[in-house]
Amino acid sequence: MTADISQTPDADLLQLHKDGDPDAFGELFRRHKDRMWAVALRTTRDPELAADAVQDGFLNAFRRAESFRGDAAVTTWLHRIVVNACLDRLRRIKPTVELGDTDVVETRDHHASVEVRLDIQEALAKLPEGQRMALVLVDMHGMSVAEAASVLDVADGTIKSRCARGRAAMAELLGLP
């Protein structure tokens, strides 16, 4: 371990972690937890889901440090892991329908709304992962093309084309003109 771990570059910290240094990953967490929290919150739009996804993401990174190939920055690798953890958490959410003392029209409208959401989720699940992730980040979570490109570590143009193809496929799957 280096004398001042706070000055060690991220890639070196990850290597130290892989080599068994007990403090190295903690320093990576300290450095990047706030940025990963912001990514998770933008992706999930829910503080509780974001907190769980950040925890999942860092646990996955800790356990799978060997998968880091060094092709990209450690922060990019962490972004991808945290976004995937967010998307996994979002996929697990099942829409709930609470029927209270509402009149029949409101219940019917609510039921139709739930059916539309389920149809959209089903159609999204049929898209290739790249298109699905781009659409979720841009169309559902309001990220800019540049933000989504940064999170997914692809060019802006790639996000634009994935969104365009994904929207066209969604329209076809949903039977829209």
Using pLDDT thresholds of 50, 70 and 90, give the confidence band for residue 42: confident
Task: Select 1-93's CATH number: 1.20.1270.360, 3.10.180.10, 1.10.1740.10, 3.30.700.30.
Answer: 1.10.1740.10
Q: What is the reported pLDDT for 1? A: 44
In this structure, CATH architecture of domain 100-177: Orthogonal Bundle (1.10)
Q: Where are the domains of the chain?
A: 1-93, 100-177
More confident residue, 140 or 166: 166
Q: Residue 134: is its pLDDT beyond 50? A: yes
List, for residues 153-173, the tens digit of each pLDDT value. 799 999 999 999 999 998 898
Q: Which residue has the tokens 């290739």?
A: 128
Element (H, E) at 24: helix 24-44
Q: Residue 94: is its pLDDT beyond 80? A: no
Model confidence, pTM: 0.58
Q: Which long-range contacts (CB under 8 A, 24 or more apart) does 19-27 make?
A: 25/61, 25/62, 25/65
